[in-house]
DNA sequence: AGAGACTGATTGCGATTTGCAATCGGTTTT
DNA sequence: AAAACCGATTGCAAATCGCAATCAGTCTCT
């Protein structure tokens, strides 16, 4: 993935930075999965990323300025990964990606609930969610009710509804 | 890139389909560069894709239902590649990708003009552009003035302005 | 009709990337 | 002190990438 800088096209440069199979998965888990530590990212997601791949992607994303790495004050051995402002501004991109995937791939209906809610909310909801991420990751003040909790509640309701029979 | 289907998450499935360094470049050129033939895609873009990679991506995108391949009635040897409806619905995703890249990568200012216009236009402009792509690729009737021409004119004006000194 | 250019690919091959398993030294918990 | 946990690192085989050369079929030009 090193840098050849094939062209100055913004779409191309975005692909050079994020266009692989794992980088956006990591960012998705930090963004929607509320995960902060290496181990949470390693075992928490359904996709099963290998530890060396995760280590490599975290290193690259930190180097690219999308994540910061800091020490956990409570546990000296733990590293805490946080989204930076450029990564937080990927919310609209991931929202569109989720919306497209829920419409044009055989995505799980329960997992698509969040994507559809984010899509229906549109830019206003994205902004609220970005504010929330800023407060979670940068210590900025939160302004409204938790978008993350709302998305999660809708997902769990869908799962419960599914489990309770059609 | 074959199919392991790591999870049913819509973001993951979108990445499994499009998350590599070239697939979206090909779609970008079909979408914004008005290219239809293998040779145009091969030599037309700044990034310099290799012919075997292009052949592979075209094959995969056709198999995934994002492109169709048909014979050029004028030149029997030529194949014509067209965007299908699912690919046309990638417009918002590519718009967000361009917007993010123009803000957070060292993208060329001239090449960022189109991305910024698409972003400022928002969903209404995207819809108009998608209608235009449908008319170009599927033979549906066009409804308004050409968005593509407007974007291209803005780009060329920026290049001319740049060439004429600051 | 024949020479040559152009079409969409395909092949060979070396370099890189991927992903799995095992392991590491250090830290915290028991 | 022993065991579990932490964020990685290494070895290795497989897959992928990307460059160059090449291919058979089609079109143009004379």
Which helix (H) or strand (E) is B68 found in, with range?
A: strand B67-71
- pLDDT the model gives residue A71: 87
- pLDDT the model gives residue A1: 46
- pLDDT the model gives residue B1: 47
Residues 6+ apart with CB under 8 A from A119: A95, A96, A98, A99, A102
DSSP letter string, B75-141:
-TT-EEEEE-HHHHTTHHHHHHHHHHHHHHS---HHHHHHHHHHHHHHHHHHHHHHHHHHHHHH-PP
On the question of pLDDT at B144 being above 90, the answer is no
Please state, rounded to an integer, the average pLDDT across all residues of chain B: 91
Do residues B80 and B72 touch, judged by C-beta distance below 8 A? yes
- pLDDT the model gives residue A108: 94
On the question of pLDDT at A99 being above 50, the answer is yes
Residues 6+ apart with CB under 8 A from B21: A15, A16, A19, A20
**What would the pLDDT profile of A47-56 be if each residue is shown by its tens digit?**
889 999 999 9
On the question of pLDDT at B80 being above 90, the answer is yes
Return the bridge partners of B69, or none.
Answer: B81
- pLDDT the model gives residue A72: 81
- pLDDT the model gives residue B78: 85
Tell me which DSSP letter residue A32 carries.
Answer: H
On the question of pLDDT at B9 being above 60, the answer is yes
Q: Which nucleotide is nearest to B21 (CA to C1')?
A: D17
- pLDDT the model gives residue A46: 86
The stretch A112-116 carries a mean pLDDT of 96
**Reported confidence tier of residue A162, pLDDT bands at 50, 70, 90:** confident
| CB atoms near residue B85 (< 10 Å) | 14
**Reported confidence tier of residue B4, pLDDT bands at 50, 70, 90:** low
Residue with the larger pLDDT of the pair A31 and B4: A31
ipTM above 0.90, yes or no: yes
Which helix (H) or strand (E) is A41 found in, with range?
A: helix A38-44
On the question of pLDDT at B2 being above 60, the answer is no
Helix, strand and coil percent figures for chain A, each rounded to 5? 65, 5, 30
- pLDDT the model gives residue B33: 92
**What would the pLDDT profile of B56-68 be if each residue is shown by its tens digit?**
999 999 999 999 9
On the question of pLDDT at B75 being above 90, the answer is no
On the question of pLDDT at A73 being above 80, the answer is no
- pLDDT the model gives residue A45: 84
Q: Which residue of A2, A6, A14 is the best one to mutate when testing the B interface, meaning the one whose CB has the most B CBs within 10 A?
A: A14
On the question of pLDDT at B139 being above 90, the answer is no
Q: How far apart are CA A156 and CA A125, in angstroms?
A: 20
Q: How far apart are CA B132 and CA B143, in angstroms?
A: 7
Q: How far apart are CA A90 and CA A124, in angstroms?
A: 15
Residue B33 with chain A: CB contacts under 8 Å:
none
On the question of pLDDT at B3 being above 80, the answer is no
Q: What is the dihedral of CA B30, B36, B37, B41, to 10 degrees?
A: -20
Q: What are phi and psi of B126, to 5 degrees?
A: -60, -45
Determine the 3-state secondary structure of A134 from DSSP.
helix
Tokens of B40: 């145009």
Could you please state the CATH topology (level 3) that the domain comprising B1-83 is classified under: Arc Repressor Mutant, subunit A (1.10.10)
Query: Counting Cβ atoms within 10 Å, is residue A5 exposed (0-12), middle (13-18) or buried (19+)?
Result: exposed
Least confident of A145-159, B48-62, B63-77: B63-77
On the question of pLDDT at A33 being above 80, the answer is yes
**Reported confidence tier of residue B165, pLDDT bands at 50, 70, 90:** confident
**Reported confidence tier of residue A3, pLDDT bands at 50, 70, 90:** low
Parallel/antiparallel/unpaired status of strands A67-71 and A79-83: antiparallel
User: Between B17, B46, B105, which is nearest A10 by CB?
Assistant: B105
On the question of pLDDT at A23 being above 70, the answer is yes
Please tell me the distance in Å from A74's CA to the nearest CA on chain B.
33
Residue with the larger pLDDT of the pair B165 and A84: A84
Q: How far apart are CA A140 and CA B24, in angstroms?
A: 35
Q: How far apart are CA B115 and CA B130, in angstroms?
A: 15
Using a CB–CB cut-off of 8 Å, the residues of B that contact A are: 6-17, 19-21, 24-25, 28, 45-48, 86, 89-90, 92-94, 96-108, 111-112, 115, 123
**Which region, left, alpha or beta, applies to residue A28 given φ > 0 means left and ψ of -120 to 50 means alpha?**
alpha
Sequence ranges of the domains in chain B: 1-83, 89-166
């Amino acid at each position: 993935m090193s840098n050849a800088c094939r062209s100055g096209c913004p779409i191309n440069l975005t692909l050079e930075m994020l266009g692989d199979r794992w980088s956006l998965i990591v960012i998705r888990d930090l963004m929607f999965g509320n995960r902060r530590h290496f181990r949470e990212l390693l075992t928490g997601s359904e996709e099963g990323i290998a530890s060396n791949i995760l280590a490599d992607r975290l290193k690259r994303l930190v180097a690219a300025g999308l994540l910061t790495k800091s020490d956990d004050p409570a546990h000296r051995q733990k590293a805490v990964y946080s989204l930076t402002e450029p990564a937080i501004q990927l919310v609209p991109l991931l929202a569109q990606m989720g919306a497209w995937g829920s419409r044009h791939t055989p995505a799980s209906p329960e997992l698509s609930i969040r994507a559809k809610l984010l899509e229906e909310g549109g830019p206003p909801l994205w902004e609220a969610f970005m504010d929330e991420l800023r407060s979670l990751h940068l210590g900025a003040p939160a302004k409204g009710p938790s978008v993350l909790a709302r998305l999660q509640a809708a997902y769990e309701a869908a799962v419960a509804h599914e489990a309770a029979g059609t």
